[in-house]
Amino acid sequence: MKRIFLLLLFFTTVVSVSHAQKKVLLPNGWSLSPAGRSLLLGDLPLNIAVSKSKKLMAVTNNGQSTQSIQLINPVTEKEMDRVIVPKSWYGLKFSADEKFLYASGGNDNWILKYAIINNKLQLKDSIKLGAKWPNKISPAGIEIDDAKQVMYVVTKDNFMLYVINLTNKQIIHEQQLSAEAYSCVLSATKKELFISLWGGDKVLVFDVDAKTITGEVAVGDNPNELLLNKKGTILFVANANDNSVSVIDTKQKKVLEVLNAALYPDAPQGSASNGLALSEDEKTLYIANADNNCLAVFDVSKPGFSTSKGFIPTGWYPTNVKVIGKKIFVSNGKGFESFANPYGPNPVRRREEVIYQKGDPNKKQEVQYIGGLMKGQMSH
């Protein structure tokens, strides 16, 4: 009996040490203990796109330093290619035939078109929405009707929806919106486009044939990512500024329920719920809580009567989540650790020129601006 106790004590100690080694203490006092394996990403990954066959996955990295797009094999869980982009922000979409990947070009105000050749990304074209910054456009979410060869682009600086003919790259319609937009997704019939109005706390309904806004649904504060179930009957809306997800009946255009994704029922604002994914059987919803460093998990098998199942620990600042088979992929915007910047901007050093949010451009040592030091990680 004594020997069994000692063996159990030894086993418990080994397990405790193993878990302790995985913990990382952040400068804000929070600890990280991310579940699963990991893959290095770029500076602030904001979005993950999955191809129709689910054999390809892409990530757009939109941080302060080098911005990039990565092409990943979700089966081998390895990066196949990475390309540097001048500017990018959130929007990312594969064509249905998986020959192309489209990415929003941020303040360059265009959509970049990459050909996928031998598992490599080759820049083939760009779709210009207008002149570059300081002209304010800034494309965000994008959606494609492959059958019609039509692209929909929503923006966050000039509050617009652009409808584009992909065959000739011409803008065929511009729809003024009432506030900043974040994402958009086509209905199952492809006759309606749902738009999350980031700055308007609502989801807009756009009739693609009539080319007009036909309805709106009030949701939570700062709605961002949208997710439709396979039948197109339920639309999930992540609300970043009030820890919630609105569940919408797309036929009735009304909210069935609001899921509280926070760590506890009366928690203050601050979970930053900003990514959504459904399990393959669509019975489980995963919600990326950026400021809680976790996924909130809900049983959504009965819309209107969903229940919380708990949380899954992630890395620092999870921004997006996707499910492929039995695998859950999470983009952690700030990775797994923080870094010191001894060569950062120093206004006290007289020989150093200090520029707002930058360092000394004449300094030989690479300037370590704190906003660009943290590298994202993918948990899976």
The answer to the question of residue 154 being in a domain is yes
Distances from the Cα of 339 to the Cαs of 245, 274, 359, 378, in angstroms? 33, 25, 17, 18
Position 369 scores a pLDDT of: 76
- pLDDT (tens, 9 = 90+) of the chain, 380 residues, equals 333 333 333 233 233 333 334 688 888 888 898 989 999 999 999 999 999 999 999 999 999 889 999 999 999 999 999 999 999 999 999 999 999 999 999 999 999 999 999 999 999 999 999 999 999 999 999 999 999 999 999 999 999 999 999 999 999 999 999 999 999 999 999 999 999 999 999 999 999 999 999 999 999 999 999 999 999 999 999 999 999 999 999 999 999 999 999 999 889 999 999 999 999 999 999 999 999 999 999 999 999 999 999 999 999 999 999 999 999 999 999 999 877 787 777 777 666 566 665 655 565 556 777 777 788 999 98
Spell out a b/e string for 283-310, using b for 16 or more CB atoms within 10 Å of the CB, else e.
Answer: ebbbbbbbbbbbbbbbebeeeeebeeee
Start-end of H helices in the chain = 2-22
Instruction: Pull the structure tokens for residue 22.
Output: 């995985």
The answer to the question of residue 251 being in a domain is no
Evaluate whether 47 touches 93 at the Cβ level (below 8 Å). Answer: no
Type and span of the H or E element at 69 = strand 67-73
The answer to the question of residue 43 being in a domain is yes
Beta-carbon count within 10 A of 28 CB: 8
The answer to the question of residue 61 being in a domain is yes
The answer to the question of residue 368 being in a domain is no
Evaluate whether 233 touches 282 at the Cβ level (below 8 Å). Answer: no
Evaluate whether 335 touches 377 at the Cβ level (below 8 Å). Answer: yes
Strand order in the sheet with 234-239: 223-228, 234-239, 244-249, 254-260
Strand order in the sheet with 57-61: 45-50, 57-61, 67-73, 78-85
The answer to the question of residue 70 being in a domain is yes
Q: DSSP string of 211-262? A: TEEEEEEE-SSSEEEEEE-TTS-EEEEEETTTTEEEEEETTTTEEEEEEE-S
Evaluate whether 195 touches 154 at the Cβ level (below 8 Å). Answer: yes
What is the pTM for the complete model shown? 0.89
Contacts of residues 219-223 at CB distance under 8 Å and 24 or more positions apart, as own/partner, are 219/246, 219/248, 219/255, 220/244, 220/245, 220/246, 220/258, 221/269, 222/198, 223/182, 223/196, 223/197, 223/198
Instruction: Dihedral sign for Cα 178, 194, 41, 88, please.
Output: negative
The 3-state secondary structure of 206-225 reads EECCCCEEEEEEECCCCEEE
Q: How far apart are CA 69 and CA 260, in angstroms?
A: 32
Evaluate whether 315 touches 300 at the Cβ level (below 8 Å). Answer: no
Q: What is the CATH number of the domain that holds 129?
A: 2.130.10.10
Q: Which of 242, 250, 245 is nearest to 204 (CA)?
A: 250
Evaluate whether 94 touches 49 at the Cβ level (below 8 Å). Answer: yes
The answer to the question of residue 170 being in a domain is yes
Domain that holds residue 130: 38-176
Q: Residue 185 in 3-state DSSP?
A: strand
The answer to the question of residue 300 being in a domain is no
Number of compact structural domains in the chain: 1
